[in-house]
Homo-oligomer: A and B are copies of this chain.
């Protein structure tokens, strides 16, 4: 099977120049291992903990920037949508539409996303079991679109904490759809800093390693040149200057994992 693809980029679009800089730095980090990457950035943080934190550039400016990155770098683009009406415009520009975890049961959004014909990356709700995702995927598939990815970004575990259950990856893979592991949101501490979410960046590579050793089609890792000053998700993003080393280690692990035959039990 193929090496993992990497869905990566800053959490939030900041400007065209920033997006260019990030895409270029990421491309360099991926080059040595020939890792395919999909550039991810959000034009709107529509569900932040608090009303007082930044939401981003908005859909029009955001999609314009993403379109330029796509053309200039020749990379596929992923962005997330927040209501059904956004799917059409986003689908004109991006290759992968992402359904946020909180919204993964919203039928209209799933159907509108499916109808774009884009690939659809559905984040598993923190409130769902991995086996519940089969019904979620079936909503998208009912539109005739079978380009579906199922992504684990952690499961509610007590308050303000997520846990990653790695049994979930093979369980979701039973659907036949590619499975993605989101290493940076899985280490979020939702609401953990009062008006923003906390995070434990140091555990993102730990969980990414576990996921790759279990077996995934893609990894999702948000990154930034200065996480501590990023407009969102700073506590859990990986500094971009560490990405080359991290990708190299994960790719070696992935190559080994995919060379080993499954053990039927």
Interface residues of A (CB under 8 A from B): 46-51, 55, 82-85, 102-103, 105-108, 125-129, 131-132, 135, 138-139, 142, 155-161, 163-167, 169-170, 187, 190-191, 194-195, 200-207, 209-214, 238-239, 242, 245-246, 249, 252-253, 256-257, 260, 263, 265
Contact = CB atoms under 8 A, between A and B. Distances in A.
A132 B50 CA distance: 9
Contacts of A166: 164, 166, 206-207, 210
Nearest to A45: B107
B165 A49 contact: no
Given A102-B106, A127-B156, A49 B207 contact: no
A163 B169 CA distance: 13
Given A102-B125, A163-B157, A238-B265, A206 B214 contact: yes
Contacts of A195: 135
Contacts of A139: 50-51
Given A127-B125, A209-B257, A213-B209, A49 B167 contact: no
Q: How many copies does the complex hold?
A: 4
Contacts of A191: 128-129, 131-132, 135
Max chain B CB contacts within 10 Å: which of A49, A159, A191, A239? A159
Contacts of A108: 46, 82-83
A161 B158 contact: yes
Given A126-B156, A127-B125, A170-B206, A106 B49 contact: no
Contact of A135 (B51, B126, B156): B51
B242 A265 contact: yes
A213 B187 CA distance: 17
Contacts of A163: 155, 157, 163, 165
A243 to B, nearest CB: 10
Nearest to A130: B159
Nearest to A210: B210
Given A51-B135, A107-B46, A214-B209, A129 B160 contact: yes
